[in-house]
């Protein structure tokens, strides 16, 4: 079939538009087209190329999806050797000063000569790649290999959307671009989460993910990996008048449509190199991708040529690394820790290893599911990561180094058994629960467990619970650390002398606190239930439980089926309540509270025949003469409910001054809107 001029023009137009939008989305991070419209352009080009195969070109965006599986990677000899650069072993300021001194010496500069200008960049932790463009079209991509010969990975590189298949503007006849393929941390986490949901193996770390993706023999697998790219230099160039400096080279590459990292600049002399090294180190953990250092390059290309190479490394460049964020060590034991909210976290006890600038002996394993997924066992060699102030974590296991027990029949089994979560809390002995749909296991001894003691007391005393004014975090720290309070019941046994003797307390403050504690002895049943800190039981659920059962004994005696008869109490909430009251330690604390006269009093009967009984309200803005809490109390006293957000189930929105998006959503959904006067009229008996 003859291809018409109109079809050719249409295909050329579609290719140009798609690449323009690709560049805006993947390189500039500034999308210019909704996904649906982009997909329509892509499908139109696919259809046209299918109808007229002659229109299919090597730089067509449709060729990014991956072709047939490869039998192997063909060797590629680099026209200009792709050499690595020297690494400074001194990760402190001395590394920058030593490099500057070597350069000045090699150039025979006198001491009084002006400082040398350097281009400064990041050292990406990925896979080095050479991209060969001929007349602006990507024709080949190769790995570094041994520096002289690499592997042809063109088909896989075509799947990386940040790499343009055709350069923009006036491209040279031949331009070999050097850069790094990497995987950003957010993309890495998203990909691994997808793999886990699909029951497939996850990647160990972003660097291995990038390198492994490019060396996949099936390009379709590479296309599934979320890879990125930054250009940082050039190799062979023909038909191009080179700029005078390396910085100008990078600017020119960006002008051709190639992604170049924004974290680059110029430094004059060793002092400014140190400043750049320190600044990027402070920024390192906030970057969306991994780096293992920075790179300094003499900026003037003429000086680079004069300096030349030594031992197959350029004299004019150096990598000034940071302390490694990952290291290998062995697991000596696996324990569990109990957090302030009762969360049970498995922790690997490690042979000491220096990583991320500190010696690490413990690393989190997050939760039971993660331990099983990674199959971490005692004796394993593991990869430990520590980045900045982030808690060190075990990111992967080296199974080939696992200690194995070999059988006479040739079979082998691991020496250490798989990890099993303990059934009781190692701190207080209470039962551990882990709902089927949750990843975190928790200690059920919330009122009793020493590990949760401070958090339990703060919640118990909070304004919406027992409302003990003056019992804040610092005072709770003193009471617990001094052994004066172990459970909420102990608060009611405090005396003036002990309180007044605490740091920054004084007799007046102590008297005020004791008065607030005494005043809290007769809360409503709803407040008391909420104060217990039962998982998944908030204020609203506590009120529903109080209304439905009338007293705490009935709540404690209820099974899951009876609990689910309460409005808005489902299986998860019911299970949390049952588990809480099934724990003997929690019942002991409740009995101790009763002995000192603390017990929730039944709520006043709800006027179930009121106009708002069972109706759902949302409060927004500032009301003229009452607070939102006061309005909420009035609504609930008449049997209504107050929700946090507007939905189709909302019956009324009470709007005051400066009401925001909730009011807009109410109007959009057609929800009735009231002002304070209309609310008060509705609340009248």
- pLDDT at residue 46 tops 60: yes
Angle, alpha carbons 151-155-157 (nearest 5°): 80
Q: Is residue 83 part of a domain?
A: no
Same domain, 105 and 188: yes
Task: Please state the domain count of the chain.
Answer: 5
pLDDT band at 238 (very low <50, low <70, confident <90, very high): very high
Q: What is the pLDDT of residues 86-117, one digit of tens each?
A: 888 788 899 999 999 999 999 999 989 999 99
Nearest to 248 by CA among 296, 176, 300, 297: 300
Q: Is residue 485 part of a domain?
A: yes
- pLDDT at residue 349 tops 60: yes
Same domain, 512 and 644: no
Dihedral sign computed on CA atoms, order 669, 675, 676, 678: negative
Cβ pair 55, 3 in contact under 8 A: yes
Same domain, 131 and 241: yes
- Please report the pLDDT score of residue 69 as a whole number: 45
Same domain, 523 and 636: no
- Please report the pLDDT score of residue 209 as a whole number: 81
Cβ pair 180, 124 in contact under 8 A: yes
Same domain, 460 and 384: no
pLDDT band at 180 (very low <50, low <70, confident <90, very high): very high
CATH number, domain containing residue 631: 3.40.50.10190
Please compute the mean of the pLDDT values over residues 510-526 and round it to a whole number. Answer: 93
The domain boundary, picked from 321, 353, 383, lies at 321
Rounded to 10°, the helix 571-582/584-595 angle is 70
Share of the chain above pLDDT 70, in %: 93
The residue among 181 and 310 whose pLDDT is bigger is 181
Please compute the mean of the pLDDT values over residues 337-345 and round it to a whole number. Answer: 89
Please compute the mean of the pLDDT values over residues 117-130 and round it to a whole number. Answer: 94
Q: Which two tokens stand for residue 663?
A: 């009011």
Q: What is the pLDDT of residues 4-33, one digit of tens each?
A: 778 788 888 888 887 777 666 555 545 565
Same domain, 505 and 548: yes
CATH number, domain containing residue 33: 1.10.287.610
- Please report the pLDDT score of residue 27 as a whole number: 54
The domain boundary, picked from 603, 630, 657, lies at 603
Please compute the mean of the pLDDT values over residues 344-348 and round it to a whole number. Answer: 94
- pLDDT at residue 658 tops 90: no
Please compute the mean of the pLDDT values over residues 569-577 and round it to a whole number. Answer: 90
Strand, helix or coil for residue 452: helix
- Of 62-76, 210-224, 267-281, 450-464, which range is least confident? 62-76
- Please report the pLDDT score of residue 607 as a whole number: 45
- Secondary structure (H, E, C), 28-88: CCCCCCCHHHHHHHHHHHHHHHHHCHHHCCCCCHHHHHCCCCCCCCCEEECCCCCCCCEEE
pTM (global) more than 0.85: no
Q: Is residue 77 part of a domain?
A: no
C-alpha R_g of the chain: 33
CATH number, domain containing residue 519: 1.10.150.20
- Please report the pLDDT score of residue 38 as a whole number: 64
Backbone angles phi, psi at 573, to 5 degrees: -65, -45
Same domain, 98 and 197: yes
The domain boundary, picked from 548, 578, 603, lies at 603
Alpha-carbon distance of 124 to 270, in angstroms, equals: 22
- Please report the pLDDT score of residue 506 as a whole number: 85
Q: Is residue 70 part of a domain?
A: no
Which of 368-372, 514-518, 543-547 has the highest mean predicted lDDT (pLDDT)?
514-518
Q: 56 exposed, middle or buried (CB, 10 Å; 0-12, 13-18, 19+)?
A: middle
Q: Is residue 396 part of a domain?
A: yes
- pLDDT at residue 55 tops 80: no
Same domain, 432 and 362: no
Nearest to 186 by CA among 124, 228, 127, 221: 228
Q: Is residue 71 part of a domain?
A: no
- Of 28-37, 452-461, 599-608, which range is least confident? 28-37
- pLDDT at residue 678 tops 70: yes
Q: Which residues constitute the domain of residue 589? A: 428-603
CATH number, domain containing residue 119: 3.30.470.30
- Please report the pLDDT score of residue 170 as a whole number: 87
**Does an H or E element contain 227, and which?**
none
Cβ pair 187, 162 in contact under 8 A: no
Same domain, 201 and 286: yes
Nearest to 383 by CA among 419, 355, 423, 425: 355
Backbone angles phi, psi at 617, to 5 degrees: -115, 155
- pLDDT at residue 604 tops 60: no
- Please report the pLDDT score of residue 175 as a whole number: 97
Same domain, 284 and 310: yes
Q: Is residue 87 part of a domain?
A: no
Q: What is the pLDDT of residues 385-403, one digit of tens each?
A: 887 666 898 988 888 899 9
Q: Is residue 261 part of a domain?
A: yes
Same domain, 231 and 154: yes
Q: Return the biggest CA–CA distance within the chain.
A: 101
CATH number, domain containing residue 403: 2.40.50.140
Strand, helix or coil for residue 198: coil
The residue among 415 and 53 whose pLDDT is bigger is 415
Indicate if 662 belongs to the active site: no
Residues 181-212 as b or e (16 or more Cβ within 10 Å = b): bbbbeebbeebbeeeeeeeeebbbbbbebbbb
- Please report the pLDDT score of residue 684 as a whole number: 77
Same domain, 394 and 498: no
- Please report the pLDDT score of residue 425 as a whole number: 93
The residue among 410 and 247 whose pLDDT is bigger is 247
- pLDDT at residue 66 tops 60: no
- Of the listed 123, 297, 632, 641, which one is catalytic? 123
Alpha-carbon distance of 390 to 261, in angstroms, equals: 25
Mean pLDDT of the chain: 87
- Of 4-13, 55-64, 193-202, 224-233, which range is least confident? 55-64
């Amino acid at each position: 079939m003859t291809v018409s001029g109109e079809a050719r023009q249409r295909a050329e137009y579609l290719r140009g538009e798609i690449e323009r939008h690709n560049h805006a989305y993947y390189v500039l991070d500034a999308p210019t087209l909704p996904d649906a419209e982009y997909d329509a352009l892509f499908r139109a080009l696919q259809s046209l190329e299918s109808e007229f195969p002659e229109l299919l070109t090597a730089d067509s965006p449709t060729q990014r999806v991956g072709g047939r599986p490869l039998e192997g990677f063909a060797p590629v000899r680099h026209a200009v050797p792709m050499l690595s650069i020297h690494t400074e072993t001194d990760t402190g300021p001395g590394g920058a000063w030593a490099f500057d001194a070597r350069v000045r010496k090699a150039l025979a500069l006198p001491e009084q000569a002006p400082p040398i200008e350097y281009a400064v960049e990041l050292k990406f932790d990925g896979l080095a790649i050479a991209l060969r463009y001929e007349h602006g079209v990507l024709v080949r991509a190769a790995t570094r290999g041994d520096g002289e010969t690499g592997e042809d990975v063109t088909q896989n590189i075509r799947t990386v959307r940040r790499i343009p298949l055709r350069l923009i503007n006036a491209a040279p006849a031949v331009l070999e671009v050097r850069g790094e393929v990497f995987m950003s941390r957010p993309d890495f986490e998203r990909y691994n989460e997808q793999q886990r949901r699909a029951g497939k193996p996850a990647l160990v770390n972003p660097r291995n993910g990038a390198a492994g993706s490019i060396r996949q023999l099936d390009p379709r697998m590479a296309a599934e990996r979320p890879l990125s790219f930054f250009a940082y230099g050039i190799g062979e160039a023909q038909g191009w008048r080179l700029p005078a400096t390396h910085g100008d080279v990078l600017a020119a590459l960006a002008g051709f449509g190639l992604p170049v990292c924004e974290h680059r600049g110029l430094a004059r002399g060793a002092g400014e190199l140190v400043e750049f090294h320190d600044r990027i180190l402070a920024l390192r953990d906030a970057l969306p991708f991994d780096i293992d250092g920075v790179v300094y390059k003499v900026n003037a290309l003429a000086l680079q040529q004069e300096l030349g190479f030594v031992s197959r490394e350029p004299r004019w460049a150096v990598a000034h690394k940071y302390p490694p964020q990952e290291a290998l060590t062995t697991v000596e034991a696996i324990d569990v820790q109990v957090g302030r909210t009762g969360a049970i976290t498995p922790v690997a006890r490690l042979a000491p290893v220096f990583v991320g600038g500190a010696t690490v002996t413990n690393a989190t394993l997050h939760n039971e599911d993660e331990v099983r997924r990674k199959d971490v066992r005692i004796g394993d060699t593991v990869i430990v990561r520590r980045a900045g102030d982030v808690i060190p974590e075990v990111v992967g296991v080296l199974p080939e180094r696992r200690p194995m027990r070999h059988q006479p029949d040739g079979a082998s089994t691991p020496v250490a058994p798989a990890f099993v979560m303990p059934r009781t809390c190692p701190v207080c002995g209470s039962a551990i629960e882990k709902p089927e749909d949750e990843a975190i296991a928790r200690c059920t001894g919330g009122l009793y467990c020493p590990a949760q003691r401070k958090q339990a007391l703060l919640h118990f005393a909070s304004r919406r619970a027992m409302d003990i004014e003056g019992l804040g975090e610092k005072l709770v720290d003193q009471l617990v650390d001094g052994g004066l309070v172990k459970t909420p019941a102990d608060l009611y046994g405090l005396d003036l002398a002990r309180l007044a003797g605490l740091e920054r307390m004084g007799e007046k403050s102590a008297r005020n606190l004791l008065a607030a504690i005494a005043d809290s002895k007769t809360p409503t049943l709803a407040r008391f239930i909420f104060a217990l800190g039962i998982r998944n039981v908030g204020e609203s659920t506590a009120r529903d439980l109080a209304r439905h059962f009338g007293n705490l004994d009935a709540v404690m005696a209820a099974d899951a089926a009876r609990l689910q008869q309460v409005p808005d109490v489902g299986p998860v909430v019911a299970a949390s309540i049952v588990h809480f009251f099934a724990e003997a330690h929690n019942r002991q604390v409740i009995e101790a509270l009763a002995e000192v006269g603390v017990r929730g009093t039944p709520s006043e009967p709800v006027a179930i025949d009121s106009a708002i009984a069972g109706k759902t309200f949302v409060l927004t803005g500032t009301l003229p003469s009452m607070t939102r809490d006061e309005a909420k109390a009035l609504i609930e006293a008449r049997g209504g409910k107050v929700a946090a957000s507007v939905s189709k189930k909302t019956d009324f929105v009470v709007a005051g001054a400066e009401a925001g998006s909730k009011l807009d959503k109410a109007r959009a959904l057609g929800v009735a809107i009231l002002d304070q006067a209309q609310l008060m009229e509705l609340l009248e008996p």
